[in-house]
Structure 1
Amino acid sequence: MKIFNSTQTFDYPWDHVSAANWQKYPNEVSTHVVAVDVLRREFDPESQKLVTERLITCKQPIPSWLSFIVGGDNKSFIREISTVDRLTKTVVMRSCNMTMCKLLKVYETVTYTQDPLDLNKTKFEQTAEITAYASLRRLCDRIEDWSVERFGQNASKGKQGFDSVLKHLDEQWNGLASKTTSLLGEVNDKTTEVLKEVNEKTSVVLKEVNEKTNVVLKEVNEKTSIVLKEVNELASEIWKEGN
């Protein structure tokens, strides 16, 4: 058995990386991945974990000596089960090959975790256990060595491809954030303008109401004075007649 290890750092926060992970393929660098199909997806609201099962189809040339053993088909299938933990900010992806599994077994584990020293970065760790099953030890070693070499090549391409995907999505997110800020600014300006117009119209209306109220009160006071005068005169006449 041979072991392949790879560690990398992405200069993006975990939230961005974990979201972009679902759009990692296809990309212009990792052309060996030709299809990704979701077979099952479950979310547990209590644990805040998302479990996804996918079938990954790869198409990559294989050496002629290996093609002679397994046949001429260069298409392979991989079963992957991933768990996204929002509470611990961790993505764990475990996969195993379904093609050539009687000759070669590959168990791969990929982990994305938030960098504890820099929250704007994400740590990537990849481990693959590669075991060949053949009657000749020399043939097993050759198959395992080839698999490790291929993992190294694909890991390098995968980093470049994912970086391009992250950059593209980051530009989209920044563009959306910029448009949102601009839109909120326009809404704020419009709201301020409308409130100003409302205040001006309210002031005009209140002024008109005040003026009309003063006129009405003046008329009421004048009529009240007349009525009181007439009442007083009538009261005086009644008092004189009584005396």
Structure 2
Amino acid sequence: MVKFFQHTFKYEYNWDSVTLAFWLRYPNPFASHVESVDVIDRYVDPDTGVLRTTRLILKRGVLPKWGNGLIKKPEAYIIEESLINPKTQTMITLTKNITHARMMQVEEWQTFRVDPNNREFTQVKTEARVISNFGWGLTERVEGFGIKKFADGAAKSRKGMSHVLEMIREKQLLRGRGFLTI
């Protein structure tokens, strides 16, 4: 069995600001569970102008009571791959855990694009699936836990992005008033 999650959200910020905030989103007060983020590979495709990036993210998690003893360490390594096309103003990301994948695999796709109804806003479509092959009658429970944690995490992620976006807006306002020269 597989559990699915889908959500569309709109940031009231332009695409340039939202994609910048994506790269600057850690650390933020809503992501204290993120231990580190490392760029593994980054290059611009010379034919298309698309920026391709692979990052490794270390997150600290919390196990449910029924999960104690099943996993030794609740930390998880996450691989994040992204494609940014400045010509079409789209960014597509794929994020998936590489730790504990036998128990539960979480794959998330996000598409960031200019909102078709307001070019000053950015639309983000998130799709995820949670798959468990754990067995022993726990598959449904593991997947249910995973999808709930994912939905809760997605809400916190939006708050974190909004926090970073507001910081970007404040710096732009200060720079525009001559207070910042960076």
| Smaller-chain TM-score bracket | over 0.9
Following superposition, the deviation at residue 135 of structure 1 comes to: 2.4
Residue in 1 that maps onto 2:31? 30
Following superposition, the deviation at residue 17 of structure 1 comes to: 0.6
Q: Give the whole-Å Cα distance in 1 for the aligned partners of 2:67 and 2:127.
A: 24
Higher RCO, 1 vs 2 (CA within 8 Å, ≥6 residues apart): 2
Q: Structure 2 matches for 1:93-172, cutoff 5 A?
A: 93-136=93-136, 138-172=137-171
> Whose Rg is larger?
1
Contact 1:11–1:121 (8 Å) recurs in 2: yes
Q: Give the whole-Å Cα distance in 2 for the aligned partners of 1:177 and 1:82.
A: 31
Structure 1 window deviating more from structure 2 (149-158 vs 39-48): it is: 39-48
Q: Give the whole-Å Cα distance in 2 for the aligned partners of 1:75 and 1:179.
A: 44
AA aligned to 1:176 is R
Q: Write 1 or 2 for the structure with the bigger share of helix.
A: 1
Unaligned 5+ segments in structure 1 are 184-243
CA offset digits 1:35-80 (Å, max 9, x no partner): 1110000112431210000001111211122132122x12111011
> Alpha carbon RMSD of aligned pairs, Å?
1.5
Contact 1:30–1:154 (8 Å) recurs in 2: no
Q: Give the whole-Å Cα distance in 2 for the aligned partners of 1:32 and 1:153.
A: 13
Residue in 1 that maps onto 2:87? 87
Aligned length: 179
Q: Give the whole-Å Cα distance in 2 for the aligned partners of 1:176 and 1:46.
A: 35
Following superposition, the deviation at residue 178 of structure 1 comes to: 2.6
- TM-score between the two structures when normalised by the length of structure 1: 0.71
Unaligned 5+ segments in structure 2 are none
AA aligned to 1:67 is N
Report runs of 4+ in structure 1 exceeding 2 Å deviation: none
Specify the SS of the correspondent of 2:69: helix
Specify the SS of the correspondent of 1:69: coil
- TM-score between the two structures when normalised by the length of structure 2: 0.93
Contact 2:104–2:146 (8 Å) recurs in 1: no
Q: Give the whole-Å Cα distance in 1 for the aligned partners of 2:154 and 2:135.
A: 30
